[in-house]
Structure 1
Amino acid sequence: MTTTAGTRPPRSSTGAAHAAKRRGPRTEALWGYAFIAPTGLGLAVFYLWPVLQTVYFSFTEWGAFGGHTWVGLENYTRLFADPEVGRAVLNTLMYTVLGLLGIPVAIVFAALINRPGLRGVSVYRTAFFLPVVTMPVAVAMLWRWLYNGDYGLVNQVLSVAGIDGPNWIADPGTAMYALVVVGIWSSVGYNLIIFLAGMQGIPKELYEAASMDGAGRVRQFFKITLPMLSPTAFFISIVSVIGSLQLFDLVFVMTGSGQSARANPAYSRLQTVVQLFYERAFVTNDRGYAAAIVIALLVLIAALTVAQFRLQRKWVHYV
């Protein structure tokens, strides 16, 4: 085959295909990295770097006018000897455990809404989900008014039945339970939507076969619905535990901060780990100790999450 001067002979189709194959994976990888670069950069700057900074600061002591010095494990030694930290951890764990009662509540409501032929399902979904999209500060202020011992609506309703209700947030005997009710009320809508989606994904043939065998709705619920919802319940439990361990806004708004909060008789029953971190970091300016507290909370969250995953594996084998 002859070629004219100054022109390049055409390459074979086989060579072009090999060149395209060599360029293809590399080009796709570069485009992939380019697309995830903004997200990866944001995660590194706003999440990973602050975590590394906090770990470093947990080994330092801060002065009243800024600046810090390396003190090693002194903050962690102080943390394990501080009774206020232990009390805050117990309060947080108690709130977390009691808050898990919202999971069966959400399952029951989801089962009621999922009944065939029920009208206005979208209305019920919206009504239950409204507290989830409401600002936590607004929720806390609303319930603070409802729980007021002098003019709160809860005590007004109880007075009709001749019951003299306490000051729910100021009474150490009722403060934690009142707070748990608010937490469940504000999160049950999210859990309900997730459980409702899980129920609608269960094959209808299972219920039809159970009906033919004579199983009623209650038996179908315990023998079909609950076992099939175990992965969904596991996801909800993980999210609920992590969210409960980071509780701050409800307690902060309902009890206040600083001296006003400590004047509350129920303060020692409501103080959480994150609230203690806030006070040490931004009220007393003990930032090194505050960093140690929040790192300990991070370890606690990781440990409980690992424990939940192991329990889930045992539950799957049991079922």
Structure 2
Amino acid sequence: MNKRKYKNYLWGYFFVAPTIIGLLILNIYPIFKTLLLSFSASTGFEEYVFSGLNNFTRVLKDREVWIGLRNTLIFSAVSVPGGIFISLLLAWLMSKEIRGRSVYRVIYFTPMVAAPAAVTMVWAWLYNSEFGFLNYVIKSLGGATHSWLHDPKYALMSVIIIAIWGGLGQQIIILIVAITNVPRVYYEAAEIDGAGGFVKLFKITVPLISPSVFFLTITGFIGSLTQFDLIYMLYNANTSKAMDSVRTIMYQYYRQAFVVQDKPYASAISIVALCLILIFTGLQFVAQKKIVHYE
């Protein structure tokens, strides 16, 4: 190796070193540390001893973990397909030549640039049982008001609505780009055969933008299976009657790690959550071979 080539290699390593170091410290090390802790038990004062599969056995017997898993699956099963469906319809409408199209796009993208804490506070006010806007409208129409966030019957769906609304902006932008890239010739051929708007949407548009829909499905399920911030900001675990209806598996991880201070058990819960994400992602990649159409 000549001197010039050696110097180029050194410069290459120099520029990638910060990224590699950051990856090792912030990603790789925590993964191995979590895996190691999940097979350990605390003896106090940040000292741990090997405990085998005891933490995972405890996870299988823990009622709160199973409740969190149930709520997480319901949250994912409703919020991801529901959000993508609504985003698809809105993206389809905004991809047409309508007046104020740019304004609508900005409005729907606003949730993506707003601070999550501020958004949550606004929704908490909308849902407030005493002076919230939603109950005010219902009461004005003669309906019965509800404690939307703290009634176990409505709590999870109320959180799902917030999550769907918060994800619309990114999903709409991605779908608009995908829709505008569909060749016009397919629509013209369908119009000759007498196809209407919804027929063209579901028979032409959806199949041709299925790679984008698949991407949103993958990222949506990963995000929903790790849902934590909404629950944390909306609920007080010590006072809310609806905690069993809304706690997710990642909220249970947070509680064990930072409230109970049982980090080995919390690590086992996080490993279970990781396995759940890998299973769902794997199933989606298997299914995409039949339902996703690449040009």
Distance 2:45 2:66 in 1: 29
CA contact (8 A) 1:130 1:189 kept: yes
Distance 1:141 1:107 in 2: 27
Give CA deviations for 1:266-305 in whole Å, capped at 9, x if unaligned. 1101111111111111111111100111111111111110
Which deviates more from structure 2 when the two are superposed, residues 119-128 or residues 175-184? 119-128
* Structure 1 runs, 4 residues or longer, greater than 3 Å off: 21-35
Query: Are 1:186 and 2:166 counterparts?
Result: yes
Give CA deviations for 1:247-272 in whole Å, capped at 9, x if unaligned. 1110011112xxxx243111101111
Match of 2:269 among 282, 286, 293: 293
Note the C-alpha offset of 1:218.
Answer: 2.2
Which residue matches 1:111? 92
TM-score under structure 1 length normalisation: 0.86
Higher Rg: 1
- 1:143 is aligned with what amino acid? W
What percentage of residue pairs aligned between the two structures are identical? Answer: 38
Match of 1:52 among 13, 16, 32: 32
Query: Are 1:42 and 2:25 counterparts?
Result: no
Structure 1 unaligned regions, length at least 5: 1-20
- Paired residue secondary structure (1:62): strand
Distance 2:243 2:213 in 1: 32
Q: 1:25 to 1:241 in 2, by over 3 A?
A: farther
Which residue matches 2:208? 228
Distance 2:15 2:61 in 1: 48
Query: Are 1:90 and 2:90 counterparts?
Result: no
Distance 1:113 1:26 in 2: 54
Which residue matches 1:266? 242
Which deviates more from structure 2 when the two are superposed, residues 121-130 or residues 289-298? 121-130
- Paired residue secondary structure (1:247): coil
TM-score under structure 2 length normalisation: 0.93
- 2:245 is aligned with what amino acid? R
Which residue matches 2:253? 277
Query: Are 1:199 and 2:179 counterparts?
Result: yes
Distance 2:202 2:12 in 1: 46
Q: 1:121 to 1:61 in 2, by over 3 A?
A: same
Distance 1:25 1:122 in 2: 51
- Paired residue secondary structure (2:49): strand
- Paired residue secondary structure (1:312): helix
Note the C-alpha offset of 1:66.
Answer: 2.5
CA contact (8 A) 1:64 1:285 kept: no
* Aligned length in residues: 293
After TM superposition, the structure 1 = structure 2 runs for residues 1-319 of structure 1, keeping only pairs within 5 Å, are 32-100=12-80, 101-115=82-96, 117-256=97-236, 261-316=237-292
CA contact (8 A) 2:71 2:246 kept: yes
- Paired residue secondary structure (1:45): helix
Which deviates more from structure 2 when the two are superposed, residues 291-300 or residues 68-77? 68-77
Note the C-alpha offset of 1:213.
Answer: 3.0
Give CA deviations for 1:1-57 in whole Å, capped at 9, x if unaligned. xxxxxxxxxxxxxxxxxxxx9889877665544433321221111111111111111
CA contact (8 A) 1:198 1:232 kept: yes
Distance 2:106 2:27 in 1: 33
Distance 1:74 1:195 in 2: 46
- Paired residue secondary structure (1:151): coil
Distance 2:18 2:188 in 1: 50
Note the C-alpha offset of 1:210.
Answer: 2.1
